[in-house]
A and B are shown apart, each in its own frame.
Chain A
Amino acid sequence: MEINNRDNNRPHYINPYLGGVLLGLLVIITVYITGRGLGASGAVKSAVVTTAEAITPAHAESNPYMSKFTGGDHSPMYNWLVFESLGIFFGGLLSGILFGRLKKIRIEKSPKITNKTRLIAALTGGILFGIGSQFGRGCSSGAALSGSSTFSLGGVIVMLVLFGTGYAIAWMFKKLWI
């Protein structure tokens, strides 16, 4: 596992405004076709429910949060967000190959910390984000992006508070990044 050393060839990214316009159009098309926006954290939730059902079915049924998604003909994985998230993975893969970013497994962090620190931070960040996304009824793609685009109050709240909090506390973790 190596540190992602930035060399003189900075990675080539598309113009962010172009990306934004295309992403906005994608949201419009998604809403036009499906009546809903994009999302991402829902797929992990489905994965959790599926795993719990597979290992301890009785416990999953009795859990008041998971029981909403258990049972029925299909596995909880057979839902829209899971397929969309799979698509996100492959889309990223495609782009990575196209732009030459598909390299060996690596960890990205500031040079001032160790790999271990970064991984612990990533794990903690993931856990916190997982918990928060359930309260927030979505993550930055589902709630903030799609929610705000469809003028929903909840989406705007999530967007403002999520990024607002980020700005407020970023100084505490500066060492992780630069």
Chain B
Amino acid sequence: MGPLIPNGVITGDWDFVIALIIGIIFGFLLESSGFSSSRNIVGVFYGYNFVVLRVFFTAVIVAMVGLLYFDYFGWLDLDKIFILPTYLTPMIVGSVIMGFGFVLGGFCPGTSYTAIAIGKLDALVFTVGLFIGIFIFSETFPLFQDFYYSGYLGNVTLTDVTGIPAAWFAFAFTIIALASFWITMVIEKRVRKNITEYKF
């Protein structure tokens, strides 16, 4: 009965071995899908390469639907899993800042690790930037400590907030994602007509 480690089915000593293996698979999937290239990643914003959208949305809908089936079959207890806590305003502000960082840097932390692995110097610089950024944050933390903890809604799920069962969100999101796949296929064709390179 999942989740295995919190339920004691697998002891905690395996924790880090499992983390390593999961990370390896994650990194492999990221790199082989094209996320080790910053120009591929930002293509989603300019319309010439929607790989980020395809991989990301597909992963989310597969995971959402899969988790619901796992819960239904009794393999996984969805009440016991970690739900990201919601701090409304800081998260919105943080996401805006991350948006800027994303477009400027062309990476996010996970993808930058894979890009470093294949030799991209800009990814290394990006990761150094991450380090500096977090350091700056922790040094200036007392200034906005209250803001950091504001807007706390708890470890809430979409269902907790709206009362709509999770399956509806999964279904709605699936429809939106699938529609976006077809639409972006058309957009990609049009944008790529004007440029020569779009896959890096």
The answer to whether A and B touch directly, with their CB atoms under 8 angstroms apart, is: yes
Binding site for B on A (CB under 8 A): 1, 4, 6, 10-11, 13-14, 16-17, 19-38, 40-41, 43-45, 47-49, 52, 63-66, 78, 80-81, 83-96, 98-99, 101-110, 118-119, 121-158, 160-170, 172-174, 176-178
The distance from the CB of A7 to the nearest CB of chain B, in whole angstroms, is 10
B23 pairs with A87, CB closer than 8 A: yes
B90 pairs with A135, CB closer than 8 A: yes
Q: Does chain A have a CB within 8 A of B4?
A: yes
How many residues of chain B are within 8 Å of chain A by beta carbon? 130
25 residue pairs of the A-B complex, CB under 8 angstroms, read A16-B50, A20-B56, A23-B58, A38-B22, A44-B109, A52-B138, A80-B19, A91-B26, A92-B116, A101-B118, A108-B106, A109-B122, A122-B125, A128-B100, A129-B107, A131-B94, A134-B137, A147-B84, A149-B67, A150-B82, A157-B86, A162-B99, A166-B99, A169-B99, A173-B103
The distance from the CB of B4 to the nearest CB of chain A, in whole angstroms, is 5
Would A37 and B82 be within 8 Å (CB), given that A52-B135, A92-B113 are in contact?
yes
Q: Does chain A have a CB within 8 A of B24?
A: yes
A134 pairs with B105, CB closer than 8 A: no
A53 to B155, CA, bound (A): 30
